Chain A
């Protein structure tokens, strides 16, 4: 069995407990009171969507920041079946019931009894969730979901006083500060901190890199500041405050990137002191990225059960990156048990992958309770993140879905430990952005060509691209900063930010940094690219590697910065999966949009670049000519040999013999 050990981090921390020896480290760097931070009556967004299938209650736990009392809950309730009532609850107490609309915004008061709890459990369900009155489930799965959740607090947030408590469960914004024109190790650590925090927080948390002397944005409850600084000795972390911002300073000379990467480690919560020393990233204990993974690795929760007559469905997401690299085939080995099926009852288990039915098995009265199913998603149907659906359809022996207490229950249990998914390594057939992040194999080389825009600005854009890449990845990405020239001439997959026209040519980018024209048959919104200044993020295959390239044409100075920031912030705000095709473009007059490079009329730079292939034709002809020459030499030797033999015969017999040695 193959194992991969890229990108799992284990933080080994020597915790400096608060005490006299470390008194200096414990000093806050701000003269503001250490006990308070934040404002009163703040609304804090909850970072997740809560989605409940009919018959099931889904919940999310929201940690209440220290010092605050939750008073109100806002959100959007969306239900697939408006004829049914859906309920929103806080710690089991119903605080809102749907009003018959498919989508409604609601505001609910947090019950007074629950305001002192450390955790709010917010739940959503259909009122008939116990299923007692429903003999058969609906054919189409019906959901109720909560989005845009925000909890309004009263009081004043207590600033964190330890490294372990520094990062809250939810945060609206995290700023990573690095010095201007930071040296390579500090900038690299900054990007690793961004990656680690992106892994920790979903995309409702804004994560930015800013120069240390740049003005901070307005503070919001839960916001945090991470400061990366050069220092001496091994990397260490300490908690302090700047104004209302809680600050975690990671500094040191050695192991700075490892320390930054460790910010995503759950073990960080164990550090109870203001300072943590020797924060390290263990390369020997990296996360296991085997090609064969138990299903428990991809199932949320500890069981996978399909139950009830009618149709019940379970959804799994399997990103290619789970296997640590691109795969060309995804195998599924399902082991499970089903309840005995009555003589005339019918039970069918279907497996769908990316909306394609890939296997189906039926159970009947003669089936053994245990079942095994082996199937695979074919290469052409594979995506970057694959949606696997297990769907059970069951018809009772009576053939009727009416409530019948004599009906025996029907259930299918999938053994998560023995069931597995298995990836077969291979380039697969994905192209463009969909090849990322799995093609990176857990390591993201980032090259920054400072150019006119300056290093700090490009570093910030690089960070904005690292964020969605890391969020799309199954495991942590190890970011390493490389020199742009080394990257361009190298063979590693990675990201080049601020690429020049020459870089685009050398990398054989599909959209060169030159005037571009879009095919005239395309929609008018794409035509804005034609002969207009642009900044483009491109994803393409070059040689044996995949490259992400950010560069612009005919945009200088501030113009480039504006377009590039618009483009990268759009990518950062959305998920990586929303990027389609292979080019994402920002022009002066429109929102950034995805484009297939095939829709761009081939630029002369690209066409001329192909002329070099003629050398293979010329070389082939030359080889044939050489072989022809050798043949001619052999033929001449043969003719001479025959001639000599004929002469010998003539000498021996005194008579000649004609021969035509020509072919």
Chain B
């Protein structure tokens, strides 16, 4: 006599292991194509509307990536320490062409590829978890209809790369955990460790994933009864690639700045920026769990949508009740790593998100919350899986989620800038940068050769893509010694100067000061040598006078 599943079916649904598919997961290519297509469509809309470079950081990322091979001092040192390096390195091939750089289309290509990768990763995760086809479809739908995410993939921001890396890592871990055979440490390192390394080199949320992924590996191995020795060995195998990536980053910092944690405490670090916020009394989430949680929840409901967020919350409850802390549940919990990190970083004051729940209110950095979307998608997928696993309620479940998503997207669509903080921030910048971009376009149209002295770090001047000149033309902070020489004697170095005509009264940080303005705005010799050929608002473009003029 053999025990059947029915015979042992418990009162509550059990956390039985899913079917163990092989390495190949049917539909992978189709899903990748779908993600790529949706990303391409979003890119078309965003570029056509002129919105893909509205967030200031987006242009900064494009500029950094290009400086690595096109600047007065090209090289890896141009990666700097403000941001982790991988997104810039990945951008490089896509912006080698000046048109792809100046239009931001290169970033759209990378973002769309990342969306395709994220869609595939979620597809493979759901396959490993044994989700029903209806549930898998819903997971894709939640991911690919999120307007905030679709906007973000059209920019050069770091979120698309991170989401692709995070979901790929989790897919690798799920593949390893539910594999029909015991995979080796090497295979674990390749399929999960390398994406984790990519995440580690993309954003600091990746470092949290390295930790949670390692714990997951230990948990699964111990639970299998393979013993601590194997658990440690496999944990090390997983952690090795991201660990090496971390070490490389520390070494890079040490090599260029003689400080392995320059990215943490250097003048361009987020800590330095946060210190200004602390002094201004604006980092209000620090040490305040209630406010931090409120800001996080507001960010999730704004960015994911109220209905999807509620469905995900319900899915979380169902998952906990149904799967407890089984391996399957842990896989989905892994997708929540970035959420936990985000909440923690708000509480410890390492991150700033400003929305309607924050003090002060506004719209800033809500794009971080797009990292929650894969987790939300999986939780909603689990809910649909629970409803449809017996082959019933398939149409009803999918239809209900479809109605919810269509309703949510329609509601967003009637007022994108008002209802989506990510778009609101972009719109705010669109308005705020209007004059700077106008000046950039003027310079592009009238440029006739020679160097351009400008401090791109200062307010609204990180607009190199809009200017659209080869990087070698700029003499900026990234040019190192030549920048300082040009500040002392611009006529020997540049034909153009693009600066604020008056210094900002209260820049956000000391580095927000326009050094060119500081050196030249009241310099009589400069004004004899250069004439103001274009000005708008507080920005001016100066051109070196020809002899005799």
A residues contacting B by CB (< 8 A) are 378-380, 429, 517, 519-521, 597-602, 606-608, 610-617, 623-624, 627-628, 630-632, 634-635, 637-638, 641-642, 645-646, 649, 652-653, 662-663
Flag whether B223 is at the interface (Cβ < 8 A): yes
**A611 with B289, Cβ < 8 A, contacts A606-B359, A628-B325, A663-B324 known:** yes
Rounded to whole angstroms, the CA-CA distance of A645 and B324 in the bound complex is 23
Considering only CB atoms, which chain B residue lies closest to A607 in the complex?
Answer: B284
Do B362 and A613 have beta carbons less than 8 Å apart? no
Question: Is B288 among interface residues, defined by CB-CB distance under 8 A?
Answer: yes
Could you give 12 example pairs across A and B, Cβ below 8 Å? Answer: A599-B360, A610-B294, A611-B288, A613-B293, A623-B317, A628-B325, A631-B323, A631-B324, A641-B8, A641-B10, A663-B17, A663-B323
- Using known A-B contacts A610-B288, A611-B291, A631-B322, determine if residue A637 contacts B11 with beta carbons closer than 8 Å: yes
Provide the bound-state CA to CA distance between A643 and B130, in Å: 26
Q: How far is the CB of A123 from chain B (nearest CB, A)?
A: 44
What is the distance, in angstroms, from B277's C-beta to the closest C-beta of chain A?
Answer: 11
Among A378, A517, A663, the most chain B Cβ lie within 10 Å of the Cβ of A663
Measured between C-beta atoms, what is the minimum distance from B423 to chain A in Å? 12
Q: State which of B223, B290, B297 has its C-beta within 8 Å of the C-beta of A612.
A: B290
B321 CB within 8 Å of chain A: yes
Q: Which residues of B contact A611 (CB under 8 A)?
A: 288-291
B280 touches A631 (CB 8 A): no
- B7-45 vs A, Cβ < 8 Å mask (1 yes, 0 no): 110111011110000000000000000000000000000
A431 closest partner in B (C-beta): B361
- Answer whether residue B548 sits at the interface, using C-beta atoms and an 8 A cutoff: no
Kindly provide the distance from the CB of A162 to the nearest chain B CB, expressed in whole angstroms: 55
> Quick check: A602 and B359 within 8 Å, CB to CB?
yes
Q: Report how far A663 CA is from B505 CA in the complex, Å.
A: 62
**3 closest A-B pairs (Cβ-Cβ)?**
A663-B326, A613-B290, A631-B324
Q: Are B1 and A652 in contact (CB under 8 A)?
A: yes
Cβ distance A522 to chain B, nearest Cβ, rounded Å: 9
Cβ-defined contact, A631 with B10, below 8 A: no
Q: Which residues of chain B are near A378, meaning CB under 8 Å?
A: 414-415
Please tell me if B316 contacts chain A, counting CB pairs below 8 Å: yes
Provide the bound-state CA to CA distance between A632 and B15, in Å: 11
Q: Confirm or deny: B320 has a beta carbon within 8 angstroms of a beta carbon on chain A.
A: yes
Q: How far is the CA of A479 from the CA of B223 in the complex (A)?
A: 70
> What's the Cα separation between A624 and B314 when bound, in Å?
11
List, in ascending order, chain B residues with CB within 8 A of A615's CB.
Answer: 290
Q: How far is the CA of A638 from the CA of B322 in the complex (A)?
A: 13
Q: Which residues of B contact A (CB under 8 A)?
A: 1, 3, 7-8, 10-12, 14-17, 223, 280-282, 284, 288-291, 293-294, 297, 316-317, 320-329, 359-362, 414-415, 417-418, 505-506
Chain A residue with Cβ nearest B3: A645
Q: In this complex, what residue of B is CB-closest to A663?
A: B326
Contact assessment for A429 and B418 in the assembled complex, using a CB-CB cutoff below 8 Å: yes
Contact: A663 with B15, CB < 8 Å?
yes
- Whether A624 lies near B320 (C-beta < 8 A) is yes
Query: How far is the CB of B159 from the nearest CB of chain A, in Å?
Result: 24
CA distance A653 to B506 in the complex (A): 85
Question: Which residues from chain A contact B16 at a C-beta distance below 8 Å?
Answer: 663
Kindly list chain B residues whose C-beta atoms are within 8 Å of the C-beta of A652: 1
List, in ascending order, chain A residues with CB within 8 A of B317's CB.
623-624, 627
Q: Which residues of B contact A624 (CB under 8 A)?
A: 316-317, 320
CB <8 Å contact, A598 and B360:
yes
Interface centre among A519, A613, A615, A632 (most CB of B within 10 A): A613
In the complex the two chains form, what is the Cα distance from A505 to B414 in whole Å? Answer: 36
Known A-B contacts A598-B361, A613-B291, A614-B290; A649 and B323 likewise in contact (beta carbons under 8 Å):
no
A614 engages B15 (CB within 8 Å): no
Evaluate contact between B320 and A607: CB separation under 8 angstroms. no
Residue of A nearest to B318 (CB): A627
Chain B nearest CB from A539 CB (Å) reads: 15
The residue in chain B whose Cβ has the minimal distance to the Cβ of A659 is B3
Minimum Cβ distance to chain B for residue A266 (Å)? 42
Q: How many angstroms between the C-alpha atoms of A601 and B283 in the bound complex? A: 10
The answer to whether residues A607 and B291 also contact, given A520-B506, A601-B280, A641-B10 and a CB cut-off of 8 A, is yes
- For residue A623, which residue of chain B has the nearest CB? B317
Task: Provide the residues of chain A in CB contact with B322, threshold 8 Å.
Answer: 631
Determine whether the beta carbon of B359 is less than 8 Å from that of A638: no
Distance between A228 CB and nearest chain B CB, rounded to angstroms: 43
Min CB distance B294 to A, Å, is 4
Q: Can you name the residue of chain B whose Cβ is closest to the Cβ of A635? A: B324
* Distance in Å: Cβ of B284 to nearest Cβ of chain A: 5
Contact of B289 among A380, A429, A617, A641 (CB under 8 A): A617
CB-based contact B280/A519 at 8 Å = yes
Task: Check if B281 sits within 8 Å of A517, measured CB to CB.
Answer: yes
The residues of B that contact A632 with a CB separation of less than 8 Å are 324
Chain A residues with Cβ under 8 A from B323's Cβ? 631, 663
Q: How far is the CA of A607 from the CA of B74 in the complex (A)?
A: 46
| Given known contacts A613-B290, A628-B320, A630-B321, A380 and B281 CB-to-CB distance under 8 angstroms | no
